[in-house]
Structure 1
Amino acid sequence: MSPDENKQSEKDMKETDRHLSERLEKLGKTLDTRLDEASAKEEPNKTSAMSGLSQAWKMSSEFIAAIFVGGALGWMADSWIGTKPWGMIILLMLGFVAGILNVLREAGKVAGPERRMNSGKKQD
């Protein structure tokens, strides 16, 4: 090989290396962007799953608490007034209804009391 051919092949190699380096850098940036997008999509799913679980626990505990409170108030009313078992039955049913109403409010199926009162007023 002549010296001119060696210089030309070295130029071609340097140009090819530069071109490959540019492609590699571009690919790295694209990969980083896609990885960031993928991780951003995964994080809300984990958060929403945990918030959904916590919301379910909150709803179930409010429902059970409303039933227990209704039963306890009914038992106290019966022992105070002397109307066993009617006070407990009635207040237990009211506690059940209150528990269902709390669950529906939390799920967004029924408007809360403050939203109902504001919906009847005229807005300025």
Structure 2
Amino acid sequence: MADDQKTSLEDRLKRLDAELAERRKDDGAEAAAEARASESRKGYAVAMKLSSEFVAAVIVGALLGYLLDHFAGTGPWGMIVFLLLGFCAGVLNVMRAAGMVASPHPVDRLAGREPGKAGGGRDETETKDGA
């Protein structure tokens, strides 16, 4: 009787191990699918961010141009100029957000220096007396 209980217990343990192994395989597939979906959602979020930054810059430029034309009576020229400036600002914002163009460091902006040069834009080979 003890032998029958032992064999039935071992059979049950083997079946449970087999079922757990199957479920672990399914969990791995689900985790991989969730990881792919997460990456896809991140990509959509970045795309929406970049497109909204571009569209917002163009709309702001067009609005400023329209207001300039309306109050100054300059005809379509304010709208054309500010629409082009908005387009350029939108492209620059998208490139900065995508990491293709680095933002200037705040210290360099405040000091009026170029980001790549030290000493207020002077070449480091120059001396203090200008020689």
Q: TM-score category by the smaller chain?
A: 0.5 to 0.7
TM-score (normalised: structure 1): 0.65
Residue 46 (structure 2) pairs with residue 58 (structure 1): no
* Greater relative contact order (CA < 8 Å, ≥ 6 in sequence): 1
TM-score (normalised: structure 2): 0.62
- Alignment: residue pair count: 109
1:12-32 deviations in whole A, cap 9, x for unaligned? x76654543333232223223
Q: 1:117 is matched with which residue?
A: 105
Specify which structure has the higher proportion of helix: 1
Distance 2:35 2:100 in 1: 24
Please tell me the residue identity of whatever aligns with 2:49: K
Q: CA RMSD in A?
A: 3.0
Please tell me the residue identity of whatever aligns with 1:54: A
When Rg is computed on C-alpha atoms for both structures, the one with the higher figure is: 1
Distance 1:42 1:110 in 2: 33
Q: 1:103 is matched with which residue?
A: 94
How many angstroms does 1:97 deviate by? Answer: 1.0
Q: 1:24 is matched with which residue?
A: 15
- Structure 2, gaps ≥5 residues long: 109-114, 117-131
Q: 1:39 is matched with which residue?
A: 30
